[in-house]
A and B are shown apart, each in its own frame.
Chain A
Protein backbone atom coordinates (compact mmCIF):
# COMPACT_ATOMS: atom_id res chain seq x y z
CA UNK A 1 0.00 0.00 0.00
CA UNK A 2 1.72 3.20 -1.07
CA UNK A 3 -1.19 5.62 -1.11
CA UNK A 4 -1.44 8.12 1.73
CA UNK A 5 -4.28 10.26 3.05
CA UNK A 6 -3.73 14.01 2.85
CA UNK A 7 -3.69 16.04 6.02
CA UNK A 8 -4.09 19.76 6.73
CA UNK A 9 -2.77 21.34 9.91
CA UNK A 10 -4.23 24.62 11.17
CA UNK A 11 -2.09 26.27 13.82
CA UNK A 12 1.67 26.41 13.54
CA UNK A 13 2.71 26.55 17.20
CA UNK A 14 4.41 23.76 19.16
CA UNK A 15 1.55 21.28 18.69
CA UNK A 16 1.07 21.90 14.97
CA UNK A 17 4.77 21.79 14.13
CA UNK A 18 5.39 18.64 16.15
CA UNK A 19 2.43 16.95 14.42
CA UNK A 20 3.97 17.87 11.08
CA UNK A 21 7.26 16.21 11.96
CA UNK A 22 5.46 13.08 13.15
CA UNK A 23 3.36 12.93 9.95
CA UNK A 24 6.56 12.94 7.88
CA UNK A 25 7.32 9.50 9.36
CA UNK A 26 3.84 8.07 8.79
CA UNK A 27 3.18 5.44 6.16
CA UNK A 28 -0.50 6.43 5.96
CA UNK A 29 -0.43 10.23 6.15
CA UNK A 30 1.09 13.15 4.28
CA UNK A 31 0.78 16.85 5.07
CA UNK A 32 -0.59 18.85 2.12
CA UNK A 33 -1.10 22.20 3.86
CA UNK A 34 0.36 23.81 6.98
CA UNK A 35 -1.58 26.95 7.70
CA UNK A 36 -1.58 29.63 10.37
CA UNK A 37 -1.31 33.38 10.81
CA UNK A 38 2.35 34.23 10.81
CA UNK A 39 4.75 33.22 8.03
CA UNK A 40 7.67 34.32 10.20
CA UNK A 41 6.94 31.91 13.07
CA UNK A 42 9.54 29.26 13.78
CA UNK A 43 7.04 26.50 12.97
CA UNK A 44 6.38 28.03 9.55
CA UNK A 45 10.05 28.27 8.67
CA UNK A 46 10.55 24.71 9.81
CA UNK A 47 7.70 23.57 7.53
CA UNK A 48 8.98 25.63 4.61
CA UNK A 49 12.44 24.13 5.01
CA UNK A 50 10.85 20.68 4.80
CA UNK A 51 9.23 21.61 1.49
CA UNK A 52 5.69 21.64 2.90
CA UNK A 53 3.09 23.98 1.39
CA UNK A 54 2.42 26.79 3.86
CA UNK A 55 -0.16 29.56 4.16
CA UNK A 56 -0.83 32.50 6.46
CA UNK A 57 -4.60 32.44 5.79
CA UNK A 58 -5.52 30.04 8.61
CA UNK A 59 -8.64 28.02 7.87
CA UNK A 60 -9.32 30.08 4.71
CA UNK A 61 -6.54 28.16 2.97
CA UNK A 62 -8.75 25.06 3.25
CA UNK A 63 -12.05 26.86 2.57
CA UNK A 64 -10.64 28.27 -0.67
CA UNK A 65 -9.34 24.90 -1.80
CA UNK A 66 -11.43 22.21 -0.12
CA UNK A 67 -9.90 19.36 -2.13
CA UNK A 68 -6.57 20.02 -0.46
CA UNK A 69 -6.93 17.46 2.32
CA UNK A 70 -9.17 14.79 3.88
CA UNK A 71 -8.13 15.10 7.51
CA UNK A 72 -7.71 18.36 9.42
CA UNK A 73 -5.82 18.77 12.66
CA UNK A 74 -6.98 21.91 14.46
CA UNK A 75 -4.12 23.06 16.68
CA UNK A 76 -5.32 26.62 17.25
CA UNK A 77 -7.28 27.44 20.41
CA UNK A 78 -10.56 26.34 21.97
CA UNK A 79 -12.24 29.57 20.91
CA UNK A 80 -11.05 29.30 17.30
CA UNK A 81 -12.11 25.69 17.08
CA UNK A 82 -15.68 26.59 17.96
CA UNK A 83 -15.88 28.63 14.76
CA UNK A 84 -13.78 26.20 12.69
CA UNK A 85 -15.79 23.09 13.55
CA UNK A 86 -19.03 23.79 11.62
CA UNK A 87 -17.08 24.98 8.57
CA UNK A 88 -14.92 21.86 8.45
CA UNK A 89 -17.96 19.68 9.03
CA UNK A 90 -19.71 21.24 6.04
CA UNK A 91 -16.59 20.60 3.94
CA UNK A 92 -16.81 16.91 4.95
CA UNK A 93 -13.45 16.79 6.69
CA UNK A 94 -12.49 14.30 9.38
CA UNK A 95 -11.42 16.66 12.15
CA UNK A 96 -9.00 15.98 14.98
CA UNK A 97 -9.31 18.76 17.51
CA UNK A 98 -6.19 19.37 19.58
CA UNK A 99 -7.76 22.20 21.61
CA UNK A 100 -9.83 21.81 24.78
CA UNK A 101 -13.01 22.87 22.91
CA UNK A 102 -14.55 19.44 23.70
CA UNK A 103 -17.36 19.52 21.12
CA UNK A 104 -16.42 16.24 19.41
CA UNK A 105 -16.03 12.65 20.56
CA UNK A 106 -13.48 12.62 23.37
CA UNK A 107 -10.77 10.08 22.59
CA UNK A 108 -8.06 8.23 24.45
CA UNK A 109 -6.78 5.73 21.87
CA UNK A 110 -5.96 3.04 24.44
CA UNK A 111 -9.63 3.06 25.45
CA UNK A 112 -11.92 4.06 22.55
CA UNK A 113 -9.97 4.34 19.28
CA UNK A 114 -12.50 2.43 17.16
CA UNK A 115 -15.46 4.47 18.39
CA UNK A 116 -13.61 7.71 17.75
CA UNK A 117 -12.70 7.06 14.11
CA UNK A 118 -16.38 6.51 13.32
CA UNK A 119 -17.22 10.09 14.33
CA UNK A 120 -16.48 13.25 12.30
CA UNK A 121 -14.93 15.38 15.03
CA UNK A 122 -12.55 13.80 17.52
CA UNK A 123 -11.36 15.75 20.53
CA UNK A 124 -7.99 14.77 21.98
CA UNK A 125 -8.92 16.15 25.42
CA UNK A 126 -5.63 17.44 26.88
CA UNK A 127 -2.09 16.23 27.48
CA UNK A 128 -2.90 15.59 31.13
CA UNK A 129 -6.06 13.76 30.06
CA UNK A 130 -4.12 11.47 27.71
CA UNK A 131 -1.72 10.64 30.54
CA UNK A 132 -4.19 10.26 33.40
CA UNK A 133 -7.46 8.96 31.96
CA UNK A 134 -6.17 5.49 30.99
CA UNK A 135 -4.87 5.02 34.56
CA UNK A 136 -8.16 6.21 36.06
CA UNK A 137 -9.98 3.89 33.65
CA UNK A 138 -7.85 0.91 34.74
CA UNK A 139 -8.47 1.67 38.43
CA UNK A 140 -12.23 1.93 38.02
CA UNK A 141 -12.32 -1.30 35.97
CA UNK A 142 -11.31 -2.98 39.24
CA UNK A 143 -13.22 -0.65 41.57
CA UNK A 144 -16.30 0.75 39.84
CA UNK A 145 -17.54 1.95 43.23
CA UNK A 146 -14.97 4.77 43.35
CA UNK A 147 -16.75 8.14 43.40
CA UNK A 148 -13.87 10.60 43.41
CA UNK A 149 -10.68 10.72 41.38
CA UNK A 150 -8.15 13.44 40.98
CA UNK A 151 -5.04 13.95 38.92
CA UNK A 152 -2.17 16.36 39.04
CA UNK A 153 0.22 16.87 36.16
CA UNK A 154 3.48 18.74 36.32
CA UNK A 155 4.99 19.93 33.09
CA UNK A 156 8.05 21.94 32.29
CA UNK A 157 7.47 25.64 31.86
CA UNK A 158 9.42 25.53 28.60
CA UNK A 159 7.08 22.93 27.13
CA UNK A 160 3.93 25.04 27.48
CA UNK A 161 3.17 27.36 24.58
CA UNK A 162 1.12 30.57 24.80
CA UNK A 163 -2.23 28.89 23.98
CA UNK A 164 -1.75 26.31 26.75
CA UNK A 165 -1.16 29.10 29.23
CA UNK A 166 -4.09 31.25 28.19
CA UNK A 167 -6.37 28.16 28.11
CA UNK A 168 -5.42 26.89 31.57
CA UNK A 169 -9.02 26.99 32.86
CA UNK A 170 -10.26 25.17 29.75
CA UNK A 171 -7.51 22.59 30.27
CA UNK A 172 -8.92 21.86 33.72
CA UNK A 173 -12.56 21.77 32.61
CA UNK A 174 -11.88 19.48 29.66
CA UNK A 175 -9.64 17.07 31.56
CA UNK A 176 -12.21 16.81 34.36
CA UNK A 177 -14.95 16.04 31.86
CA UNK A 178 -12.79 13.35 30.23
CA UNK A 179 -12.01 11.76 33.59
CA UNK A 180 -15.69 11.64 34.53
CA UNK A 181 -16.78 10.16 31.20
CA UNK A 182 -14.10 7.48 30.92
CA UNK A 183 -13.90 6.37 34.54
CA UNK A 184 -17.55 6.88 35.47
CA UNK A 185 -16.79 8.74 38.70
CA UNK A 186 -19.21 11.37 39.99
CA UNK A 187 -16.54 13.90 40.76
CA UNK A 188 -13.12 14.52 39.25
CA UNK A 189 -10.58 17.15 40.15
CA UNK A 190 -7.69 18.18 37.94
CA UNK A 191 -4.66 20.27 38.83
CA UNK A 192 -1.76 21.48 36.72
CA UNK A 193 1.69 22.62 37.81
CA UNK A 194 4.03 24.46 35.47
CA UNK A 195 7.54 23.96 36.76
CA UNK A 196 10.24 26.56 36.05
CA UNK A 197 13.22 24.31 36.91
CA UNK A 198 16.26 24.42 34.69
CA UNK A 199 17.23 21.89 33.36
CA UNK A 200 13.63 21.19 32.46
CA UNK A 201 11.80 18.31 34.14
CA UNK A 202 9.92 15.54 32.32
CA UNK A 203 6.14 15.51 32.33
CA UNK A 204 4.79 13.68 35.35
CA UNK A 205 1.17 12.77 36.13
CA UNK A 206 -0.27 11.30 39.29
CA UNK A 207 -3.72 9.77 39.62
CA UNK A 208 -5.27 9.56 43.08
CA UNK A 209 -8.48 7.98 44.24
CA UNK A 210 -10.35 7.92 47.50
CA UNK A 211 -10.99 4.28 48.38
CA UNK A 212 -11.33 2.11 51.48
CA UNK A 213 -9.96 -1.33 50.52
CA UNK A 214 -8.15 -1.31 47.20
CA UNK A 215 -7.19 -4.58 45.50
CA UNK A 216 -3.64 -3.45 44.75
CA UNK A 217 -2.71 -6.66 42.94
CA UNK A 218 -5.61 -6.48 40.51
CA UNK A 219 -5.16 -2.74 39.99
CA UNK A 220 -1.50 -3.29 39.15
CA UNK A 221 -2.46 -5.93 36.56
CA UNK A 222 -5.02 -3.63 34.89
CA UNK A 223 -2.69 -0.64 34.96
CA UNK A 224 0.19 -2.58 33.45
CA UNK A 225 -2.11 -3.89 30.73
CA UNK A 226 -3.18 -0.42 29.66
CA UNK A 227 0.33 0.99 29.96
CA UNK A 228 1.49 -1.59 27.42
CA UNK A 229 -1.26 -0.44 25.06
CA UNK A 230 -0.23 3.21 25.44
CA UNK A 231 3.44 2.41 24.96
CA UNK A 232 2.60 1.19 21.46
CA UNK A 233 1.88 4.79 20.43
CA UNK A 234 3.74 6.70 23.20
CA UNK A 235 7.01 4.84 23.76
CA UNK A 236 8.13 7.20 26.55
CA UNK A 237 5.13 6.49 28.82
CA UNK A 238 6.23 4.71 32.03
CA UNK A 239 5.00 4.03 35.55
CA UNK A 240 7.30 5.51 38.19
CA UNK A 241 5.20 4.85 41.29
CA UNK A 242 3.23 1.59 41.29
CA UNK A 243 -0.17 1.58 43.01
CA UNK A 244 0.62 2.88 46.51
CA UNK A 245 -1.87 3.15 49.35
CA UNK A 246 -1.80 5.34 52.44
CA UNK A 247 -4.57 6.77 54.56
CA UNK A 248 -7.54 6.07 52.26
CA UNK A 249 -5.62 7.39 49.27
CA UNK A 250 -4.53 5.32 46.29
CA UNK A 251 -1.77 6.87 44.20
CA UNK A 252 -0.11 5.97 40.90
CA UNK A 253 2.46 8.12 39.09
CA UNK A 254 3.53 7.98 35.45
CA UNK A 255 6.27 9.88 33.67
CA UNK A 256 6.10 10.76 30.00
CA UNK A 257 9.21 11.40 27.98
CA UNK A 258 8.73 12.73 24.49
CA UNK A 259 10.28 11.55 21.25
CA UNK A 260 12.18 14.83 20.99
CA UNK A 261 10.71 15.73 17.58
CA UNK A 262 10.02 19.48 17.67
CA UNK A 263 10.57 20.14 21.39
CA UNK A 264 13.16 18.29 23.50
CA UNK A 265 12.34 15.03 25.24
CA UNK A 266 11.19 16.68 28.46
CA UNK A 267 8.05 17.85 26.63
CA UNK A 268 6.23 14.55 27.14
CA UNK A 269 3.00 16.54 27.44
CA UNK A 270 3.29 17.70 23.84
CA UNK A 271 4.28 14.25 22.69
CA UNK A 272 1.53 12.26 24.34
CA UNK A 273 -1.36 14.26 22.90
CA UNK A 274 0.28 14.36 19.47
CA UNK A 275 1.13 10.67 19.41
CA UNK A 276 -2.48 9.96 20.39
CA UNK A 277 -3.78 12.22 17.61
CA UNK A 278 -1.53 10.57 15.02
CA UNK A 279 -2.82 7.20 16.21
CA UNK A 280 -6.38 8.37 15.50
CA UNK A 281 -5.48 9.81 12.08
CA UNK A 282 -3.59 6.69 11.04
CA UNK A 283 -6.41 4.40 12.09
CA UNK A 284 -8.87 6.55 10.15
CA UNK A 285 -6.55 6.55 7.14
CA UNK A 286 -6.01 2.79 7.28
CA UNK A 287 -9.75 2.15 7.31
CA UNK A 288 -10.40 4.54 4.44
CA UNK A 289 -7.52 3.38 2.31
CA UNK A 290 -8.70 -0.21 2.76
CA UNK A 291 -12.25 0.73 1.75
CA UNK A 292 -11.02 2.49 -1.37
CA UNK A 293 -8.79 -0.33 -2.56
CA UNK A 294 -10.21 -2.02 -5.66
Chain B
Protein backbone atom coordinates (compact mmCIF):
# COMPACT_ATOMS: atom_id res chain seq x y z
CA UNK B 1 0.00 0.00 0.00
CA UNK B 2 3.05 2.23 0.18
CA UNK B 3 2.35 4.18 -3.01
CA UNK B 4 -1.48 4.19 -2.67
CA UNK B 5 -3.28 7.42 -1.85
CA UNK B 6 -6.98 7.70 -0.98
CA UNK B 7 -8.48 10.87 -2.47
CA UNK B 8 -10.93 12.24 0.06
CA UNK B 9 -13.21 14.70 -1.73
CA UNK B 10 -14.54 17.44 0.59
CA UNK B 11 -16.11 19.58 -2.17
CA UNK B 12 -19.69 19.08 -0.98
CA UNK B 13 -18.75 19.80 2.66
CA UNK B 14 -15.88 22.31 2.88
CA UNK B 15 -17.28 23.97 -0.26
CA UNK B 16 -20.44 24.77 1.71
CA UNK B 17 -18.47 27.53 3.44
CA UNK B 18 -17.83 29.22 0.10
CA UNK B 19 -21.56 29.56 -0.63
CA UNK B 20 -22.81 30.19 2.90
CA UNK B 21 -24.01 26.59 3.23
CA UNK B 22 -26.54 26.98 0.41
CA UNK B 23 -25.74 23.76 -1.50
CA UNK B 24 -28.69 22.79 -3.68
CA UNK B 25 -30.14 19.42 -4.51
CA UNK B 26 -29.08 19.83 -8.16
CA UNK B 27 -25.48 20.63 -7.22
CA UNK B 28 -25.24 17.61 -4.94
CA UNK B 29 -26.72 15.26 -7.57
CA UNK B 30 -24.52 16.41 -10.41
CA UNK B 31 -21.33 16.57 -8.39
CA UNK B 32 -21.86 13.22 -6.65
CA UNK B 33 -22.42 11.54 -10.03
CA UNK B 34 -19.27 13.07 -11.52
CA UNK B 35 -17.09 12.26 -8.51
CA UNK B 36 -18.38 8.70 -8.37
CA UNK B 37 -17.71 8.29 -12.05
CA UNK B 38 -14.19 9.74 -11.68
CA UNK B 39 -13.42 7.21 -8.96
CA UNK B 40 -12.59 9.37 -5.94
CA UNK B 41 -12.38 7.36 -2.73
CA UNK B 42 -14.73 9.27 -0.43
CA UNK B 43 -17.30 11.99 -1.13
CA UNK B 44 -17.93 14.04 1.98
CA UNK B 45 -21.27 15.89 2.13
CA UNK B 46 -22.89 18.39 4.47
CA UNK B 47 -22.75 21.74 6.24
CA UNK B 48 -19.27 23.29 6.33
CA UNK B 49 -18.76 22.44 10.02
CA UNK B 50 -20.44 19.11 9.45
CA UNK B 51 -23.40 17.41 11.06
CA UNK B 52 -25.57 19.45 13.42
CA UNK B 53 -23.78 22.71 12.65
CA UNK B 54 -26.54 24.52 10.76
CA UNK B 55 -27.09 27.52 13.05
CA UNK B 56 -27.35 31.30 13.38
CA UNK B 57 -23.76 31.23 14.62
CA UNK B 58 -22.20 29.56 11.59
CA UNK B 59 -24.97 29.89 9.04
CA UNK B 60 -28.09 27.88 8.39
CA UNK B 61 -27.84 25.42 5.54
CA UNK B 62 -30.38 25.37 2.73
CA UNK B 63 -31.00 21.62 3.05
CA UNK B 64 -31.02 19.61 6.26
CA UNK B 65 -28.19 17.17 6.98
CA UNK B 66 -30.55 14.32 6.30
CA UNK B 67 -31.72 15.69 2.95
CA UNK B 68 -28.15 16.26 1.76
CA UNK B 69 -27.02 12.78 2.77
CA UNK B 70 -30.04 11.02 1.23
CA UNK B 71 -29.61 12.85 -2.07
CA UNK B 72 -25.90 12.04 -2.24
CA UNK B 73 -26.48 8.43 -1.19
CA UNK B 74 -28.71 7.86 -4.19
CA UNK B 75 -26.01 8.94 -6.61
CA UNK B 76 -22.92 7.24 -5.21
CA UNK B 77 -22.10 3.68 -6.21
CA UNK B 78 -18.34 3.15 -5.97
CA UNK B 79 -17.26 6.18 -3.96
CA UNK B 80 -17.97 6.03 -0.23
CA UNK B 81 -20.32 8.58 1.35
CA UNK B 82 -18.61 10.51 4.14
CA UNK B 83 -19.63 13.01 6.81
CA UNK B 84 -17.72 15.37 9.05
CA UNK B 85 -18.61 15.34 12.75
CA UNK B 86 -17.39 17.80 15.37
CA UNK B 87 -18.27 16.92 18.99
CA UNK B 88 -19.76 20.04 20.56
CA UNK B 89 -21.94 20.44 17.44
CA UNK B 90 -23.16 16.96 16.53
CA UNK B 91 -24.31 14.45 19.13
CA UNK B 92 -24.61 10.70 18.78
CA UNK B 93 -28.33 10.56 19.51
CA UNK B 94 -29.48 13.65 17.58
CA UNK B 95 -27.21 13.51 14.55
CA UNK B 96 -24.84 10.59 14.05
CA UNK B 97 -27.45 7.87 14.47
CA UNK B 98 -29.61 9.59 11.84
CA UNK B 99 -26.67 9.95 9.45
CA UNK B 100 -25.97 6.26 9.75
CA UNK B 101 -29.62 5.56 8.94
CA UNK B 102 -29.09 7.68 5.81
CA UNK B 103 -26.47 5.18 4.68
CA UNK B 104 -23.24 6.99 5.46
CA UNK B 105 -20.15 4.80 4.92
CA UNK B 106 -17.41 6.90 6.53
CA UNK B 107 -17.60 9.20 9.54
CA UNK B 108 -14.73 11.52 10.30
CA UNK B 109 -14.92 12.67 13.90
CA UNK B 110 -12.85 15.83 14.13
CA UNK B 111 -11.84 17.85 17.16
CA UNK B 112 -9.62 20.84 17.74
CA UNK B 113 -6.06 19.52 17.89
CA UNK B 114 -5.94 19.38 21.72
CA UNK B 115 -9.40 17.86 22.19
CA UNK B 116 -9.12 14.26 21.04
CA UNK B 117 -10.78 13.04 24.22
CA UNK B 118 -14.08 14.69 23.27
CA UNK B 119 -14.36 12.15 20.43
CA UNK B 120 -14.42 8.90 22.38
CA UNK B 121 -18.22 8.42 22.50
CA UNK B 122 -18.63 9.30 18.84
CA UNK B 123 -15.77 7.20 17.46
CA UNK B 124 -16.73 4.12 19.43
CA UNK B 125 -20.40 4.50 18.45
CA UNK B 126 -19.53 4.51 14.74
CA UNK B 127 -17.27 1.49 15.22
CA UNK B 128 -20.11 -0.36 16.97
CA UNK B 129 -22.35 0.40 14.02
CA UNK B 130 -19.80 -1.17 11.71
CA UNK B 131 -19.08 1.92 9.64
CA UNK B 132 -15.61 3.18 8.84
CA UNK B 133 -14.44 5.88 11.25
CA UNK B 134 -11.55 8.30 10.99
CA UNK B 135 -10.30 10.85 13.48
CA UNK B 136 -9.50 14.43 12.53
CA UNK B 137 -7.32 16.94 14.39
CA UNK B 138 -8.18 20.50 13.35
CA UNK B 139 -6.04 23.64 13.59
CA UNK B 140 -3.06 21.30 13.75
CA UNK B 141 -0.62 24.20 13.53
CA UNK B 142 -1.50 25.20 17.11
CA UNK B 143 0.22 22.16 18.61
CA UNK B 144 3.76 20.76 18.61
CA UNK B 145 4.34 17.56 16.58
CA UNK B 146 4.95 15.55 19.76
CA UNK B 147 1.69 16.63 21.41
CA UNK B 148 -0.19 16.09 18.16
CA UNK B 149 0.97 12.46 18.25
CA UNK B 150 -0.39 12.11 21.80
CA UNK B 151 -3.81 13.30 20.66
CA UNK B 152 -3.75 11.03 17.60
CA UNK B 153 -2.89 8.04 19.78
CA UNK B 154 -5.99 8.72 21.89
CA UNK B 155 -8.20 8.62 18.80
CA UNK B 156 -6.51 5.42 17.67
CA UNK B 157 -7.24 3.88 21.06
CA UNK B 158 -10.97 4.79 20.74
CA UNK B 159 -11.11 2.84 17.48
CA UNK B 160 -10.28 5.34 14.72
CA UNK B 161 -9.13 3.62 11.52
CA UNK B 162 -7.13 6.58 10.23
CA UNK B 163 -6.11 10.05 11.49
CA UNK B 164 -6.18 13.17 9.35
CA UNK B 165 -4.54 16.39 10.47
CA UNK B 166 -6.32 19.49 9.23
CA UNK B 167 -4.45 22.69 8.42
CA UNK B 168 -7.64 24.66 9.04
CA UNK B 169 -5.90 28.03 8.84
CA UNK B 170 -3.71 27.21 5.86
CA UNK B 171 -0.78 28.14 8.07
CA UNK B 172 1.66 25.26 7.45
CA UNK B 173 4.77 25.28 5.29
CA UNK B 174 5.74 21.99 3.60
CA UNK B 175 8.44 21.22 6.18
CA UNK B 176 5.89 21.60 9.01
CA UNK B 177 3.63 19.07 7.33
CA UNK B 178 6.42 16.58 6.59
CA UNK B 179 7.69 16.70 10.17
CA UNK B 180 4.25 16.00 11.64
CA UNK B 181 3.24 13.31 9.17
CA UNK B 182 6.56 11.47 9.62
CA UNK B 183 6.18 11.42 13.37
CA UNK B 184 2.54 10.34 13.14
CA UNK B 185 3.18 7.49 10.69
CA UNK B 186 6.02 6.28 12.89
CA UNK B 187 3.81 6.34 16.00
CA UNK B 188 0.42 5.06 14.74
CA UNK B 189 -0.63 1.68 13.40
CA UNK B 190 -3.34 3.27 11.22
CA UNK B 191 -3.07 5.42 8.07
CA UNK B 192 -2.39 9.15 8.35
CA UNK B 193 -4.12 11.85 6.31
CA UNK B 194 -3.73 15.54 5.53
CA UNK B 195 -6.27 18.29 4.78
CA UNK B 196 -4.93 21.51 3.28
CA UNK B 197 -6.15 25.08 3.00
CA UNK B 198 -4.61 27.28 0.38
CA UNK B 199 -4.22 30.59 2.23
CA UNK B 200 -0.51 30.80 1.48
CA UNK B 201 -0.73 29.10 -1.91
CA UNK B 202 0.79 25.92 -0.50
CA UNK B 203 -2.13 23.48 -0.52
CA UNK B 204 -0.65 21.27 -3.27
CA UNK B 205 2.94 21.55 -2.05
CA UNK B 206 1.86 20.69 1.49
CA UNK B 207 -0.21 17.72 0.31
CA UNK B 208 2.73 16.43 -1.72
CA UNK B 209 4.99 16.83 1.31
CA UNK B 210 2.42 14.82 3.28
CA UNK B 211 2.34 11.83 0.91
CA UNK B 212 6.12 11.84 0.58
CA UNK B 213 6.29 11.70 4.37
CA UNK B 214 3.97 8.69 4.42
CA UNK B 215 0.37 10.01 4.38
CA UNK B 216 -2.22 7.81 2.64
CA UNK B 217 -5.41 9.89 2.86
CA UNK B 218 -5.38 13.28 1.14
CA UNK B 219 -8.27 15.75 1.16
CA UNK B 220 -9.07 17.87 -1.84
CA UNK B 221 -11.96 19.61 -3.52
CA UNK B 222 -12.72 20.43 -7.09
CA UNK B 223 -10.77 23.57 -8.10
CA UNK B 224 -10.13 23.93 -4.37
CA UNK B 225 -13.83 24.72 -3.75
CA UNK B 226 -13.74 25.10 0.04
CA UNK B 227 -13.74 27.56 2.93
CA UNK B 228 -11.71 30.79 2.74
CA UNK B 229 -8.87 30.44 0.25
CA UNK B 230 -10.08 26.94 -0.52
CA UNK B 231 -8.51 23.48 -0.25
CA UNK B 232 -6.06 21.56 -2.40
CA UNK B 233 -7.55 21.20 -5.89
CA UNK B 234 -8.39 17.55 -6.24
CA UNK B 235 -7.67 17.46 -9.99
CA UNK B 236 -4.23 18.95 -9.35
CA UNK B 237 -3.58 16.46 -6.56
CA UNK B 238 -4.36 13.59 -8.92
CA UNK B 239 -2.04 15.04 -11.58
CA UNK B 240 0.84 15.75 -9.19
CA UNK B 241 0.55 12.38 -7.44
CA UNK B 242 0.56 10.60 -10.78
CA UNK B 243 3.73 12.43 -11.76
CA UNK B 244 5.33 11.58 -8.43
CA UNK B 245 4.40 7.90 -8.84
CA UNK B 246 1.55 7.61 -6.34
CA UNK B 247 -1.56 5.64 -7.26
CA UNK B 248 -4.95 7.30 -6.50
CA UNK B 249 -7.28 5.04 -8.43
CA UNK B 250 -9.01 8.12 -9.86
CA UNK B 251 -9.52 8.83 -13.55
CA UNK B 252 -7.47 11.95 -14.38
CA UNK B 253 -9.40 13.08 -17.47
CA UNK B 254 -12.71 12.74 -15.66
CA UNK B 255 -11.39 14.83 -12.78
CA UNK B 256 -10.22 17.45 -15.27
CA UNK B 257 -13.68 17.46 -16.87
CA UNK B 258 -15.17 17.98 -13.41
CA UNK B 259 -12.85 20.93 -12.88
CA UNK B 260 -13.99 22.44 -16.19
CA UNK B 261 -17.59 22.10 -15.04
CA UNK B 262 -17.05 23.36 -11.48
CA UNK B 263 -17.23 27.09 -12.08
CA UNK B 264 -20.60 26.87 -13.74
CA UNK B 265 -21.91 24.42 -11.17
CA UNK B 266 -20.86 26.32 -8.03
CA UNK B 267 -20.77 29.90 -9.42
CA UNK B 268 -17.94 31.05 -7.13
CA UNK B 269 -14.55 29.45 -6.87
CA UNK B 270 -12.23 30.40 -4.05
CA UNK B 271 -9.17 32.48 -4.65
CA UNK B 272 -6.31 33.77 -2.59
CA UNK B 273 -7.16 37.29 -1.45
CA UNK B 274 -5.22 39.71 0.72
CA UNK B 275 -7.50 38.71 3.60
CA UNK B 276 -6.85 35.01 3.20
CA UNK B 277 -3.09 35.59 3.14
CA UNK B 278 -3.37 37.50 6.40
CA UNK B 279 -5.59 34.72 7.75
CA UNK B 280 -2.91 32.13 6.94
CA UNK B 281 -0.13 34.26 8.40
CA UNK B 282 -2.02 34.94 11.60
CA UNK B 283 -3.17 31.32 11.93
CA UNK B 284 -6.88 32.18 11.82
CA UNK B 285 -9.19 29.50 10.52
CA UNK B 286 -9.77 29.92 6.81
CA UNK B 287 -13.56 29.58 6.95
CA UNK B 288 -13.92 32.91 8.77
CA UNK B 289 -13.54 34.76 5.46
CA UNK B 290 -17.26 35.39 4.82
CA UNK B 291 -18.28 36.51 8.35
CA UNK B 292 -15.12 38.65 8.66
CA UNK B 293 -15.89 40.39 5.36
CA UNK B 294 -19.46 41.05 6.57
CA UNK B 295 -18.35 42.45 9.95
CA UNK B 296 -15.68 44.61 8.30
CA UNK B 297 -18.37 46.10 6.08
CA UNK B 298 -20.90 46.75 8.88
CA UNK B 299 -18.40 48.33 11.28
CA UNK B 300 -16.23 49.91 8.61
CA UNK B 301 -12.95 48.39 9.77
CA UNK B 302 -10.07 46.78 7.88
CA UNK B 303 -10.65 43.00 7.62
CA UNK B 304 -6.90 42.47 7.97
CA UNK B 305 -6.98 44.14 11.39
CA UNK B 306 -9.80 41.78 12.37
CA UNK B 307 -7.71 38.75 11.33
CA UNK B 308 -4.64 39.79 13.24
CA UNK B 309 -6.70 40.46 16.37
CA UNK B 310 -8.51 37.10 16.02
CA UNK B 311 -5.12 35.43 15.60
CA UNK B 312 -3.84 37.14 18.73
CA UNK B 313 -6.83 35.73 20.60
CA UNK B 314 -6.34 32.21 19.23
CA UNK B 315 -9.77 32.00 17.59
CA UNK B 316 -10.92 28.64 16.21
CA UNK B 317 -13.72 27.61 13.86
CA UNK B 318 -17.02 27.90 15.69
CA UNK B 319 -16.08 31.20 17.33
CA UNK B 320 -17.79 33.29 14.68
CA UNK B 321 -19.41 35.35 17.49
CA UNK B 322 -15.96 36.66 18.40
CA UNK B 323 -15.72 38.36 15.00
CA UNK B 324 -18.54 40.76 15.95
CA UNK B 325 -16.90 41.58 19.26
CA UNK B 326 -13.51 42.21 17.67
CA UNK B 327 -15.01 44.33 14.87
CA UNK B 328 -16.99 46.43 17.38
CA UNK B 329 -13.87 46.93 19.46
CA UNK B 330 -11.77 48.00 16.48
CA UNK B 331 -14.55 50.37 15.38
CA UNK B 332 -14.63 51.81 18.91
CA UNK B 333 -10.89 52.44 18.83
CA UNK B 334 -11.17 54.16 15.45
CA UNK B 335 -13.78 56.60 16.70
CA UNK B 336 -11.84 57.52 19.83
Contact = CB atoms under 8 A, between A and B. Distances in A.
A246 B57 CA distance: 12
A18 to B, nearest CB: 20
A118 to B, nearest CB: 32
A194 B112 contact: yes
Given A172-B91, A196-B314, A204-B321, 16 more contacts: A154-B316, A165-B118, A166-B121, A169-B87, A169-B92, A189-B55, A191-B53, A191-B88, A191-B318, A194-B114, A196-B143, A197-B314, A201-B314, A208-B56, A240-B325, A251-B321
Contacts of B91: 168-169, 172-173
Interface of B: 53, 55-57, 87-89, 91-94, 111-115, 117-118, 120-121, 139, 142-143, 294, 298, 313-316, 318-319, 321-322, 324-325, 328
Contacts, number: 108
A192 interface: yes
Contacts of B316: 154, 193, 195-197
Interface of A: 150, 152, 154, 157, 162, 165-166, 168-169, 172-173, 189, 191-198, 201, 204, 206, 208-210, 240-241, 244, 246, 249, 251, 253
B324 A241 contact: yes
Q: Which of B57, B93, B111, B113 has the most CB of A within 10 A?
A: B57
Contact of B121 (A169, A206, A246, A249): A169
Q: Which of B87, B88, B139 has the most CB of A within 10 A?
A: B88
Interface of A is mostly: strand
Contacts of A150: 55-57
Q: Which of A165, A240, A244 has the most CB of B within 10 A?
A: A165
B120 A157 contact: no
A191 B57 contact: yes
A193 B319 contact: yes
B299 to A, nearest CB: 10
A138 to B, nearest CB: 18
A157 B117 contact: no
Contacts of B143: 196
A95 B303 CA distance: 50
A241 B325 contact: yes
Contacts of A198: 314
Contacts of B315: 195, 197
Contact of A206 (B88, B89, B321): B321
A191 B59 CA distance: 13
A152 to B, nearest CB: 5
A185 to B, nearest CB: 13
